[in-house]
Amino acid sequence: MKQQVKAVPASAVGLARDGVLQVGSAALTITGSAESFGAAVHLAATAAGIAGGALSVASGTAQIVQGGVTWRATNKARRVAKDLRDKMKACLNLKDRPSFRKLAAAREGCLFLTKDGKLDKRKIGVGNVNSRFGKYSENIQCFKATSRDEYRHMQAVYGAFYTQFISNQDFERSLQRDKRSHAKKRIIYGALGVAVGVTTIALAATGCGLVVLLAIGAVALLAGGLWIGYNTYRNRQLREQAKKAGRDNALQAGATNALKSKPLASLEEKMKSAGYAANSHLAAELLVKHLSGGKEAAKAKSAQARMDIATEKERFARKVAKENNAFEQGKGATIISETGVKIRREFATLFLLRTGMSEHDIHELKVLAANGQETLAAERIKRFLSNDGGRALWKPEASEGVTAPI
């Protein structure tokens, strides 16, 4: 939607090009034929016809160039959005649920899959528990075995995050498809303008076909008017879409602000509900909470030694688990364990890397959260979930098997 908002002010430039040049050229073309009908004011018909044709060629050429540039840009934007979407979908398991192990493999540049979509253990070498991927894999397997309900719950929460990110890329592809269609129409219209201009110049220079010249001028005038009308209508639609997006964003922000005092378990349950699953503000808020309580938070409390940092992290995990004790009662209730707090922090890091953030970006988010700037951290995350953060930082990669920040 950000691109739509930017497109609206450009209508003034378009009006100058489409209105002044195109309609002006048509007017000069008609003026060039006026002498054959005994016009009261004798004008240099040949010069006027040539000038009108030249303006038409200039306007048409500008249309073709702009259309071509836009066409190329939209094709690239669609490829980038598709690449990001496909990378995230590659980290789903066979039941279309978020896969912690695939995210961990992607972080280490070893997301090798078999033909049926499973991790290729032979290529990855999962037996090497000394590797970071091996440690992640072991932690997840142990957590899944001992806390299956909480594991499934976390998958459902992150499933909403996945869906938001993938939907954002799909929306971008749809938006770029509309821009590409508009660019195609612009190129066709520009080619028509050039053809009209060249024909007009030829007829005016030879002094022949003045009736035809008048007809061409009338057609050009009509075509210019229709094009301006079409662009006016399209820009009005873009403005309405931008306003609707702004209203929806404000509603989501308001709904999230009303929940900020709720415990983590309550927020996660909301995230799984139909009314909040698409709320990027709530998703960003949760991801900030999931990133919290690590070594950055411990250092913010003056812990420096490794043992002190570990102690501070354990204290934070116990505190979060205790705050959510009320949700541990009853069948199907949300359980947040101390181990689950740690797993959430790891999962949030892996997920955000997959959206296009760098390791440094995520470290900065943790520092912001540790220093009470959760709102700023959430805004940065939201750019990647529901805007162009990942696309702006996208770089082509030769292979998923290359060890590099994702």
Q: What is the DSSP letter of 113?
A: B
- For the ranges 124-133, 153-162, 197-206, 273-282, which has the lowest average pLDDT? 124-133
The answer as to whether 289 is a domain residue is yes
Dihedral of CA 109/101/395/285: which sign?
negative
**Residue whose structure tokens are 């999931």:** 290
Please say whether the beta carbons of 106 and 87 come within 8 A: yes
- Give the confidence band of 22 by pLDDT, cuts at 50, 70, 90: low
Burial class (CB in 10 A: 0-12, 13-18, 19+), 132: exposed
pLDDT tens readout for residues 182-200:
999 999 999 988 888 888 8
Please say whether the beta carbons of 92 and 162 come within 8 A: yes
And the tokens for 369?
């959260």
The answer as to whether 337 is a domain residue is yes
Q: What is the DSSP letter of 21?
A: I
The answer as to whether 339 is a domain residue is yes
For the chain, percent of residues with pLDDT exceeding 70: 80
pTM for the complete prediction? 0.83
Closest CA to 52 of 178, 211, 216, 165: 216
Q: How many angstroms from the chain centroid is the CA of residue 4? A: 12
pLDDT tens readout for residues 311-350:
999 999 999 988 886 544 444 456 789 999 999 999 999 9
The answer as to whether 372 is a domain residue is yes
The answer as to whether 175 is a domain residue is no
Split into its structural domains, the chain has a count of: 1
The answer as to whether 387 is a domain residue is yes
Backbone dihedral angles phi then psi of residue 160, each to the nearest 5 degrees = -65, -40
Please say whether the beta carbons of 278 and 161 come within 8 A: no
Q: At what angle do helices 132-146 and 148-206 cross, to 10 degrees?
A: 120
The answer as to whether 68 is a domain residue is no
The answer as to whether 147 is a domain residue is no
3-state secondary structure of 250: helix
- Domain holding 341, by residue range, is 258-393
Please say whether the beta carbons of 347 and 290 come within 8 A: yes
Please say whether the beta carbons of 28 and 48 come within 8 A: yes
